[in-house]
Amino acid sequence: MSNSSYQPYRSHRRRKKSHAGRLGLAGALTGAVGIAAVAAGIVFLRPGGDGGGSAQPTLASQGGAGQGSSVRAPKIGPPVNFTTPEGYGYSLAAVMAGTNRQPLGATEAPPSGTTYAYADYILTNSQRRPVLLDYPADLFMPKSQVPADAKERCMPQAGIPDDMCTLPNHSKITGRVGGSKAPVEENGSTMMPAGASYVVRIASDLPVKEGLSADDLRLYVWNARYTSDRKGIQLNLP
């Protein structure tokens, strides 16, 4: 083979090699960009990353769930365990019941001849993980002890004796048993730390007759989230 025919062949190979080099470099750059994009996608989608992680838990405000001070464990009735459809576990036990003109502190004074009903119970997170702070127990009183102007607001419930009803009410944590940790706000929900026990007071928002006896008051759990058979479960006092 002559040099004249050989030289173009070598030149052609150099051009092919140079072209292949440019293609290889472009491919490498494209691959690097692709890998960087994938990596960026992984960082963005990773739970808890800078792209949208969940907020850290914070203590619940005193005006919301209430925190209460640390108290000794009071005498209680038999504890009853409940589990919600979400798998949250609670233990409830009654402490006491009674009447008071201001059962939760600053309350509008009731009319003459009336007072407010209340009851205390222990609410415990029976699991080793945080659970939603909820107040499963409801306060019931005899219909005969409800003033005439409030009887329409005193509601009976399935599975509760017919002569009992519950007035509008609200609940508040008044103490943390044995140094239990306070509730925390987590992703917009108020949670009970693992194993925490609180003293909860439930009080009627509407007055009852002043002659109502503490022995006439009852605590029941009746909501379908806790009692699937729609029967009220009583929390017996000690």
Domain boundary pick from 53, 73, 97: 53
Based on the domain organization, do 202 and 92 belong to the same domain?
A: yes
Q: What's the confidence (pLDDT) of residue 50? A: 41
Residue 21 pLDDT grade (very low, low, confident, very high; cuts 50, 70, 90): very low
Is the pLDDT score of 151 beyond 80? yes
**122 lies in which domain range?**
58-235
Pick the closest to residue 142 from 204, 235, 225, 77 (CA basis): 204
Query: CA 150 → CA 119, 139, 177, distances in Å?
Result: 19, 15, 35
Residue 229 pLDDT grade (very low, low, confident, very high; cuts 50, 70, 90): confident
- Dihedral (C-alpha) 191, 192, 194, 195: value to the nearest 10 degrees? -170
Q: What's the confidence (pLDDT) of residue 25? A: 41
**pLDDT tens readout for residues 98-142:** 999 999 987 788 999 999 999 999 999 999 999 999 999 999 999
Is the pLDDT score of 68 beyond 70? yes
The structural domain count of the chain equals: 2
Is the pLDDT score of 209 beyond 60? yes
Pick the closest to residue 68 from 186, 198, 190, 196 (CA basis): 198
More confident residue, 120 or 57: 120
Based on the domain organization, do 124 and 93 belong to the same domain?
A: yes
Q: What percent of the chain has pLDDT over 70?
A: 71
Q: If you average pLDDT over residues 14-27, what whole number do you get?
A: 44
Residue 119 Rama label (left phi>0; alpha psi -120 to 50; beta): beta
More confident residue, 3 or 77: 77
Distance CA 120, CA 211 (A): 20
Distance CA 198, CA 135 (A): 11
CATH of the domain at 177: 2.60.40
More confident residue, 46 or 12: 12
Based on the domain organization, do 10 and 120 belong to the same domain?
A: no
Q: What's the confidence (pLDDT) of residue 3? A: 44
Based on the domain organization, do 169 and 212 belong to the same domain?
A: yes
Based on the domain organization, do 6 and 85 belong to the same domain?
A: no
Task: Please provide the average confidence, as pLDDT, over all residues in the chain.
Answer: 80
Based on the domain organization, do 135 and 31 belong to the same domain?
A: no
Contacts of 149-158 with C-beta under 8 Å, sequence gap 24+, read 150/206, 150/207, 150/208, 153/206, 154/206, 157/220, 157/222, 157/232, 158/222, 158/230, 158/231, 158/232
Query: Is 104 within 8 Å of 66 (Cβ atoms)?
Result: no
Domain boundary pick from 13, 36, 53: 53
Based on the domain organization, do 29 and 84 belong to the same domain?
A: no
Listed in sequence order, the residues at least 6 apart from 62 whose beta carbon sits closer than 8 Å to its beta carbon are none
Based on the domain organization, do 37 and 140 belong to the same domain?
A: no
Based on the domain organization, do 173 and 72 belong to the same domain?
A: yes
Based on the domain organization, do 90 and 4 belong to the same domain?
A: no
Pick the closest to residue 82 from 237, 219, 233, 184 (CA basis): 233
**pLDDT tens readout for residues 161-204:** 999 999 999 999 999 999 899 999 999 999 999 999 999 999 99
Q: What's the confidence (pLDDT) of residue 189? A: 95
Based on the domain organization, do 26 and 120 belong to the same domain?
A: no
Strand 89-100 relative to strand 233-235: parallel, antiparallel, unpaired? unpaired
Query: Is 220 within 8 Å of 160 (Cβ atoms)?
Result: yes
Based on the domain organization, do 200 and 143 belong to the same domain?
A: yes
